[in-house]
Amino acid sequence: MDNSSRSANRVGNNRRPFGLGRGGRPNPFMSNQASASSPLLNFPALEVSPSEVTPLVSKLSTPVFTTTSPLHTREMVVNPQSASPLYDGHLPPEIRDHIFKYALEEYTKTGKESQYRPSTHYTRPGYTGKRAVTIPLLLTCRKTYLETYHLPPQKKEHVFWHERWPPHQNRYVYHADGQEGGYFSLFAPWQQQLVKEVHFFTQLYWLEDGAFCQLTKKAFMQGVEKVKITIRRGDWWHNEHNAPLGINPQRGDSDAAQMDRDWEATRRGEVIPWKEGGWGTAFANLASLQELEMEFETSEDKLKELEKIVEIAKTWKFPLKDGKVLTRRHSDL
């Protein structure tokens, strides 16, 4: 995207959730069919991932999980693995933790069939192909599993595309409960609770038509600590007609002229009310939210317009519950 200019605005408090790796499979999907006396882990014989479950999404309205409790919640004997260099007392637990997190870091697949074509709306730094998390580490022993089972869903950046999506994303787009609902239906409930970061590449209409507000009320979103929203060059309203750039979370629309009027009113000390039901008020539905990052992109000829929007964004104070607000950190711009 050599002809594009990028600018980002982050708002949040001083707590930043633990970073996630780079995309791919969200986690191991467990059948929970093993007993306490069965082998090490209760994974199905065939490892399953979102890229391999099109029939499951299209044919099942709800995921199938047995009532057997997950392995990490059961009382069981765990071998201390004292003969392993990881557990023989010479390696500090903190170092072992870093090793495990590195081993479960998300990465971009390098195979030719996994790479995106260079000139697409979804190809960009960090998003050049399908992403994956390699999970055999969880299969080594119970002790390692108990220290790492939470990392695949917790460390992953869960990415969603609203329009202009990669081909492999199509399997979730037309799910009855929305793209995100289809994706998270493949998670066991305890895995959903571990999700900490979501990233939306979206056109502005999706933010404004109420879909985002409804999404923030879903149970699988309530553990999310970081939300990232990327507005790409082609995601602004009427970009194809070279329309002025506009975004207005207070009013929940993209009227550029109204945005300018509100900005002038703000500079005079007036307070712009937040429209109830507008997308800017939806963050109050996220019980665990700590950080919001917004990333804006446009072409070089609209750089001045984007710089103005960034200046306006510095003043945004998104309302949360109990009278709290989400505001920017001065070091983030």
**Tally of structural domains, the chain:** 1
Q: What are residue 11's phi and psi, to 5 degrees? A: -130, 145
Q: Determine, yes or no, domain membership for 240.
A: yes
- What pLDDT is attached to residue 176? 57
- What pLDDT is attached to residue 174? 64
> Which residue has tokens 């580490």?
137
What is the pLDDT tens value at each position of the chain, 333 positions in all?
A: 444 444 444 444 333 332 323 333 333 333 333 333 333 333 333 333 444 444 434 444 455 555 578 888 888 899 999 999 999 999 999 999 999 999 999 999 999 999 999 888 888 888 999 999 999 999 999 999 999 999 999 999 999 999 888 887 766 666 656 889 999 999 999 999 999 999 999 999 999 999 999 999 999 999 999 999 999 999 999 988 899 999 999 999 999 999 999 999 999 999 899 999 899 999 999 999 999 999 999 999 999 999 999 999 998 999 998 889 999 865 444
Q: Determine, yes or no, domain membership for 76.
A: no
Q: Determine, yes or no, domain membership for 101.
A: no
Spatial neighbors of 192 by CB under 8 A, at least 6 apart, are 153, 184, 219, 220, 223
List, in sequence order, every beta strand (DSSP E) within 225-315.
Answer: 226-231, 291-299
Q: Determine, yes or no, domain membership for 200.
A: yes
How far apart are alpha carbons 263 and 249 in whole angstroms?
Answer: 12
Which two structure tokens, joined as six digits, stand for 152?
Answer: 């695949």
Q: Determine, yes or no, domain membership for 27.
A: no
Q: What are residue 72's phi and psi, to 5 degrees? A: -75, -10
Q: Determine, yes or no, domain membership for 113.
A: no
- Domain holding 298, by residue range, is 1-17+196-333
How far apart are alpha carbons 93 and 87 in whole angstroms?
Answer: 8
- What pLDDT is attached to residue 323? 86
- What pLDDT is attached to residue 179? 87
For the chain, give the number of residues: 333
Q: What are residue 158's phi and psi, to 5 degrees? A: -85, 110
Q: Determine, yes or no, domain membership for 140.
A: no
> Which residue has tokens 């507000």?
213
Q: Determine, yes or no, domain membership for 51.
A: no
